[in-house]
Structure 1
């Protein structure tokens, strides 16, 4: 880590606590001038650092800037050593991650951004990605399991995000098939998975797992404000986006160990609010009414159409029918 990265990691993990320049210099084995220079650079990057004579430097509890160094520090405490890359603004983390994967980026590499200008959701939709209030990230996965297991990545990732949210906030999030996370009836997170396969061998070369979560987003465009919400209702909440991003990444890495055993499927079903509901099934060439009755072992939604036919859906989407 650079001096700047080490300083922000120390301050982030000890918010509202002052460290003198002398203490930081001794701890990092650098000069006090180097500490002062690094702090000035951090302030320019948006970190809210107070500098008080005879007290030192302190990161405000309200400061919440995405930092690779801090995220990696959290992950290292859980035994994961991966590369993370953060941007102030980017067209799409998935697009950047795909380019990095083709250039040989390692398994587990994570791309994050404060803002996306062309964030994408499923079926070509845009994903609202305003700056400084969400987590927009893509994880490069190079699976060591079979293609069938790989198809469950999106399902597993939904559970991983819910686990991370619940661990850090005690909030019990729900899942709308196949890949949306809901809170109090409104969407707070979307997941987009894209895979590159080797047609000759039939194996998956890499998977790009994109996760977009509204953390403290206050204002939504008119077209989505009735269906979208934020995880936290206040930007002053003690939970930082760095901590939440790290926990989500950790939970994703952990749940990949369950792909072949499918241990997470029972949890996915428990968190689903679609099962038992009347739904509109929306497919590329067809739309019909049905009742969601189950989720199969491959993550497909099992529905019973109005004519009594039982159908297993592996693609498409559903909307809850309002009675």
Structure 2
């Protein structure tokens, strides 16, 4: 941990208190000159730190800037690698590079902005700076889990994190989209890294894009679809750091117990698709029916208009529900 990160963490832990330079020096075993330099750097990054002569430093306001040191301190199961970037093309692409070039353990990558964010089926995921949470989690695939189960668990983790930190109640559109008040606020893209010698998936990468605050400029093609946890009229009471830490902690628990399927009841409870008319395509054939249930592998069980039953495991569904905008 750098000097700046150590100073920041100490001030966050004592937010609202005036901390003397001497106390910081003694507690962190750092010179007062180094502390002064760290404070100046933090102030330029947007941290409102008040410095009072002969008294010390007070963290009056903490900006919503992704912080590696804060995140690491809040994670229950510490990752082998934790990276925070200003800008990347795609956090999933960066995670793949990490796995293939030098790393095979557990990792977390976050970015303030993605220039080439993508969702399922190669679609663009709009990822403007400082309003969303864009991250990828890397898990060693020792249990040879399937991507569908991990995606299902991740959707539950996101919902539970939002419910715990706010008074909002998100819902899930099978399989990987999170909606709030009729608009999509989150997408999940789960990918695997294959070991070509064994033919097995060595690592699973879970990409999560969550719109926390309303973006000021949204491309026209997304304006009727995109939502956020907090609207323009609302003050963001929870930082992106807090959302990130809670989502990661929730998903860590579920991933470690994936075989038990404990998350499935939570998924079914939040899946607004059940009981609704859905349309999906397999090959060249389009089917229509009523979504009846979620099976134990996360598949969507549909009763077709013909009376037959089909379980959808891949691709996507279309649904028309009043109040839900696709």
In the alignment, is residue 198 of structure 1 matched against residue 228 of structure 2?
no
Structure 2 partner of 1:229: 227
CA distance in 1, matches of 2:57, 2:81: 28
Note the residue ranges of structure 1 that are not aligned, 5 or more in a row. Answer: none
Structure 2 partner of 1:218: 215
Q: Is the 8 A contact 1:284 1:316 kept in 2?
A: no
Deviations 1:147-205 (Å, cap 9, x if unpaired)? 44x54111111111111111111322211100111111211111001102235534321
Task: Name the TM-score, length of structure 1 as normaliser.
Answer: 0.91
Matching of residues 287-302 of structure 1 within 5 Å: 287-302=286-301
Structure 2 partner of 1:157: 154
CA distance in 2, matches of 1:88, 1:283: 40
CA distance in 1, matches of 2:265, 2:293: 11
Matching of residues 68-87 of structure 1 within 5 Å: 68-75=68-75, 78-87=76-85
Which of 172, 175, 200 is equivalent to 1:175?
A: 172
Structure 1 partner of 2:6: 6
Structure 2 partner of 1:265: 264
Which of 115, 118, 122 is equivalent to 2:120?
A: 122
Q: Is the 8 A contact 1:61 1:238 kept in 2?
A: no
CA distance in 1, matches of 2:313, 2:72: 35
Q: Is the 8 A contact 1:61 1:236 kept in 2?
A: no
Q: Deviation at 1:23?
A: 2.2
Note the residue ranges of structure 2 that are not aligned, 5 or more in a row. Answer: none
CA distance in 1, matches of 2:181, 2:152: 20
How many residues align? The count is: 320
Q: Deviation at 1:92?
A: 0.8
Structure 2 partner of 1:309: 308
In the alignment, is residue 132 of structure 1 matched against residue 102 of structure 2?
no
- CA RMSD of the aligned region, Å? 2.1
Q: Deviation at 1:29?
A: 1.5
Which of 172, 184, 192 is equivalent to 1:187?
A: 184
Higher mean displacement: 92-101 or 50-59: 50-59
CA distance in 1, matches of 2:125, 2:55: 44
